[in-house]
Chains A and B, each alone.
Chain A
Amino acid sequence: MALWEDGLSARKLPQQVIPLVIIFAAALAALIIARKILVPKTFGDLGYYRAAAVDEIASQPISYAGSKACLDCHDDIDQVKSQSKHRGLSCEVCHGDAAKHVEAPDEVKPIKPIGRGYCPLCHGYNPARPTGFPQINPDLHNPGRACMSCHNAHNPMLPHAPEECAACHRQIASQKTVSHHATLTCVTCHTVPDGHLTNPNTVLAEKPKTKDLCGKCHAQGADSPAEIPRIDLATHGGRYVCWDCHYPHFPEAAR
């Protein structure tokens, strides 16, 4: 029994073409039908996405109230916070979404992040954070006690000014401790005004400007311990300052 009888081939269409035409037509039809059924209605109206998604997202319940919403009832806290180092933080960064609380303050209470795990999300030591950002190592910084027993979250004034530069410049300090310059204190090279420890962003510490500083120890005739390696200050390094080639907090000399 032949499916594609000679009746068709009489019309000069070779027999073997017929099933292929049928298969490809069926595949094409399947694609068209599938597109009709499966492609979401508003797809492509505005761009390569489903236009209705915009309305759907807009109609989702709002869970954050925004930073202004809290002022009506908690302006006392806002007053404190807006004078503090945390002035840039929105209330809901720490308290979580609070739209429901604004609607029914007595029934729904926002979370209060009092565990030791929370603050290190921003303050845990991480070399990628900017220079001078207050960072601590949570395992070493007063372990076992809640952060809030010493710090006020709304006004994180330090109980006293940090004693060490490492408090804010840990990356530099820890690099220096394993370097050839481990024995040098920071103030050997930097002049640090008192205010820098409390207001680092407005009162800046000074950075060395000339290579004479390094020469105090490394120049040929310098009055310094004999084990310090010497260079000829006039020729070594040419017209560049020393720290164009040697990182001062971790000086290395290729040998």
Chain B
Amino acid sequence: MGFPLADIAPELHKIAGYIYPNEFELHWGLLIVLYPYLTGLVAGAFILASLERIFNVKVLQPVYRLSLLTALAFLIVAPSPLLAHLGHPERSFEMFLTPHTQSAMAMFGFVYAWYLMVILLLEIWFDYRKEFVVWSRERTGFKKFVYKILSLGTTDISEKALQFDEKVGRTITILGIPSAFLLHGYVGFIFGSVKANPWWSSVLMPIVFLFSAIVSGMAMVLLIYMIATMFREKTINMACINKLSELLLYAMIVDFSLEILDFIQRLYEAEESINILSQMISNRLFISLIISQIILGTLVPMASIIWARFGKVPDEMKRMLFFVAAILVQVGIFSTRWNVVVGGQLFSKSLRGLTVYKTELFGLEGLFMVMLLLALPFVILYVITRFLPPWSKSETQLSTP
């Protein structure tokens, strides 16, 4: 036991004002930033797919299956930041065994299982069933075996059976939209219901989360579609990405307005926390909120989509602009998650001081772990598309007008 102050003295100058001793270190780090980012992508990609199916936005057909598979790939990875953060992943199944209905966090397992098993997998299965059956007959060797299993032993691809598939698929999609809202609204709900934290506690939280999810999911599908098409040496369907970025723009406008509304409301209410929160925004979060989230992540992409979509711009240039916008949106939404999760822990509950977040590089909660988890969905998506090519249907259908 030394002189207790000596241990943290070198770090103390990073603190501004007064904080409680247990606020010096943040408990929710990068991994918890990653988690709402990933679930947001899932919900966003799924809602995009639903748009095509329910509202019959036919131009979006080239990305319909791709967005379903994107949602699946990200959903598979979504719980892993939580497992890595909590440790003891082998215990996670216990929340199914002894459900605690009064704890929002404990219900995550059920929200997740419902969305994965009942919504996403079923919708994908019904959508691909015909192909599974056909391929299990045509292909040979290992692939034949895989498709046999995926078809679950069904063989009926008569007109009537396919109609049934279509009907069930639609029903699931209709169920899926509120479920996708539930999945990500739920994440916002968790933050929004922390009464003691003025940065989080807001009824708007679930809704803001939801719209930012839609924004990020659409932009992600746009990105993946453009990159994948490039690698497959096919031509990008301009009508599709025009529509997609237009929808993205509308979602961004709603999202941004909601956030501004939340902001103005806070300013006008001017509760006792307003001083420390504005200090936090102008010091600690300046780069990630003002620069990265609002300017780079929202205003610049909105401007470039407007320019590309409604200006007189050659297709080549349009694609560039959409691409850059989609990347910036990802940066912006990741910053949004950062600002919520990390921001909520930077100021003291005494409302009199600010601490700092120090990112680690290695270790379970470090930067490398986060990059690994960020790369994983793309690997999974690649493997899935090897077996469930999302392009075939749309390309064949488009070639026959």
Residue of A nearest to B6 (CB): A139
Given A16-B161, A125-B3: A4 in contact with B97 (beta carbons within 8 A): no
Across-interface contacts of B265 in A (CB, < 8 A): none
A101-131 contact mask (Cβ, 8 Å, vs B): 1 or 0: 0000000000000000100110011111000
Tell me whether B17 is interfacial, beta carbon within 8 Å: no
Across-interface contacts of A9 in B (CB, < 8 A): 156
> Is B97 touching A38 in the complex (CB atoms < 8 A)?
yes
Tell me whether A43 is interfacial, beta carbon within 8 Å: yes
Across-interface contacts of A31 in B (CB, < 8 A): 96
> Is B97 touching A34 in the complex (CB atoms < 8 A)?
yes
Query: B367 CB to closest chain A CB, in angstroms?
Result: 32
Query: B236 CB to closest chain A CB, in angstroms?
Result: 34
Of residues 37 through 75 on chain A, the ones whose CB sits less than 8 Å from some CB of chain B are 38-39, 43-44, 48
Of residues 279 through 311 on chain B, the ones whose CB sits less than 8 Å from some CB of chain A are none
Query: A24 CB to closest chain B CB, in angstroms?
Result: 8
CA distance A120 to B4 in the complex (A): 10
> Is B1 touching A16 in the complex (CB atoms < 8 A)?
no
> Is B1 touching A14 in the complex (CB atoms < 8 A)?
no
CA distance A23 to B153 in the complex (A): 12
Tell me whether A138 is interfacial, beta carbon within 8 Å: yes
Of residues 10 through 28 on chain A, the ones whose CB sits less than 8 Å from some CB of chain B are 14-16, 19-20, 23-24, 27
Query: A28 CB to closest chain B CB, in angstroms?
Result: 11
> Is A16 touching B165 in the complex (CB atoms < 8 A)?
yes
Tell me whether B117 is interfacial, beta carbon within 8 Å: yes
Given A3-B153, A19-B152: A139 in contact with B97 (beta carbons within 8 A): no
> Is B161 touching A2 in the complex (CB atoms < 8 A)?
no
Tell me whether B317 is interfacial, beta carbon within 8 Å: no
Tell me whether B396 is interfacial, beta carbon within 8 Å: no
Residue of A nearest to B164 (CB): A14
Query: B396 CB to closest chain A CB, in angstroms?
Result: 22
Query: A252 CB to closest chain B CB, in angstroms?
Result: 14
Size bracket, chain B contacts: 20 to 34
CA distance A139 to B4 in the complex (A): 11
A124-B3, A126-B5, A139-B2 given; 15 more Cβ-contact pairs under 8 Å: A2-B153, A14-B156, A15-B154, A16-B126, A16-B152, A16-B154, A19-B152, A20-B152, A48-B98, A120-B1, A121-B1, A124-B1, A125-B4, A137-B3, A138-B3
Q: Is the interface of B mostly helix, strand, loop or mixed?
A: helix
Given A14-B161, A16-B154, A16-B164: A126 in contact with B98 (beta carbons within 8 A): no
Residues on A lying within 8 angstroms of B by beta carbon are: 2-4, 9, 14-16, 19-20, 23-24, 27, 31, 34-35, 38-39, 43-44, 48, 117, 120-121, 124-128, 137-139
> Is A124 touching B4 in the complex (CB atoms < 8 A)?
yes
Residue of A nearest to B156 (CB): A15
Query: B128 CB to closest chain A CB, in angstroms?
Result: 12
B144-173 contact mask (Cβ, 8 Å, vs A): 1 or 0: 000000001111100001001100000000
Tell me whether B122 is interfacial, beta carbon within 8 Å: yes
> Is B117 touching A19 in the complex (CB atoms < 8 A)?
no
- Listed residue (B1, B100, B161) with the most chain A CB atoms within 10 angstroms of its CB: B1
CA distance A127 to B21 in the complex (A): 11
Tell me whether B337 is interfacial, beta carbon within 8 Å: no
Across-interface contacts of B129 in A (CB, < 8 A): 16
Across-interface contacts of B152 in A (CB, < 8 A): 16, 19-20, 23
CA distance A121 to B1 in the complex (A): 7
Across-interface contacts of B96 in A (CB, < 8 A): 31, 34
> Is A39 touching B156 in the complex (CB atoms < 8 A)?
no
Across-interface contacts of A127 in B (CB, < 8 A): 5
Contact with A19, one of B5, B98, B154 (Cβ below 8 angstroms):
B154
Q: List 18 A-B pairs, Cβ < 8 Å.
A: A2-B154, A3-B153, A14-B156, A15-B154, A15-B155, A16-B129, A16-B164, A19-B154, A20-B152, A23-B152, A24-B117, A27-B117, A39-B97, A39-B98, A124-B1, A125-B3, A126-B4, A138-B1
Query: A33 CB to closest chain B CB, in angstroms?
Result: 11
The 6 closest A-B pairs by CB, nearest first: A3-B153, A19-B152, A2-B155, A15-B156, A16-B154, A14-B164
> Is A44 touching B155 in the complex (CB atoms < 8 A)?
no
B48-75 contact mask (Cβ, 8 Å, vs A): 1 or 0: 0000000000000000000000000000
CA distance A39 to B161 in the complex (A): 42
Residue of A nearest to B103 (CB): A48
Residue of B nearest to A49 (CB): B98
CA distance A124 to B156 in the complex (A): 79
CA distance A120 to B3 in the complex (A): 9
Query: B166 CB to closest chain A CB, in angstroms?
Result: 12
Of residues 1 through 28 on chain B, the ones whose CB sits less than 8 Å from some CB of chain A are 1-5, 21
Given A3-B153, A19-B154: A43 in contact with B3 (beta carbons within 8 A): no
B97-123 contact mask (Cβ, 8 Å, vs A): 1 or 0: 110100000000000000001000010
CA distance A31 to B4 in the complex (A): 50
Across-interface contacts of A35 in B (CB, < 8 A): 97
CA distance A51 to B153 in the complex (A): 47
> Is A117 touching B1 in the complex (CB atoms < 8 A)?
yes
Query: B81 CB to closest chain A CB, in angstroms?
Result: 25
Query: A15 CB to closest chain B CB, in angstroms?
Result: 4
Query: B23 CB to closest chain A CB, in angstroms?
Result: 13
- Listed residue (B21, B96, B154, B156) with the most chain A CB atoms within 10 angstroms of its CB: B154
